[in-house]
């Protein structure tokens, strides 16, 4: 399974609000992007399985500076 470096914007409570790539190609040049969070948000950069990117909003949370699976059956799931 391929993994891609992604920026994960999250609420300070851990809820993921946006996920996006950290690089883009413009006219053949690779550019590094910088994700910016809003009020009460933070950003981590991590590698994510390509097949799981679209599900991160419901399957994972951010704890500290780490992406972690949600505990199913808890109030957060």
User: What pLDDT score does 23 carry?
Assistant: 87
User: pLDDT tens digit string along 23-53?
Assistant: 888 899 998 888 888 899 999 999 999 898 9
Flag whether 74 is in a domain: no
- Residues whose CB falls within 8 Å of the CB of residue 62, separated by 6 or more in sequence, listed in order: 8, 10, 14, 16, 42, 44, 68
Flag whether 75 is in a domain: no
User: What pLDDT score does 29 carry?
Assistant: 93
Flag whether 77 is in a domain: no
pTM of the model: 0.81
Hey, CA dihedral for 12, 16, 33, 45, is it positive or negative?
positive
Q: How many independent structural domains does the chain possess?
A: 1
pLDDT, mean of residues 14-22: 93
The boundaries of the domain holding residue 17 are 3-69
Radius of gyration of the chain, Cα coordinates, nearest whole angstrom: 13
| Residue 11 near residue 40 (C-beta atoms within 8 A) | yes
């Amino acid at each position: 399974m391929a993994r891609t470096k992604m920026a994960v914007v999250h609420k300070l409570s851990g809820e993921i609000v946006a996920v996006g790539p950290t690089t883009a190609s413009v006219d053949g040049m690779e550019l590094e992007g910088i994700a910016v969070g809003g009020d009460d948000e933070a950003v981590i950069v991590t590698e994510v399985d390509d097949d799981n990117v679209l599900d991160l909003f419901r399957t994972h949370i951010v704890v500290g500076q780490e992406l972690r699976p949600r505990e199913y059956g808890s109030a957060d799931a």
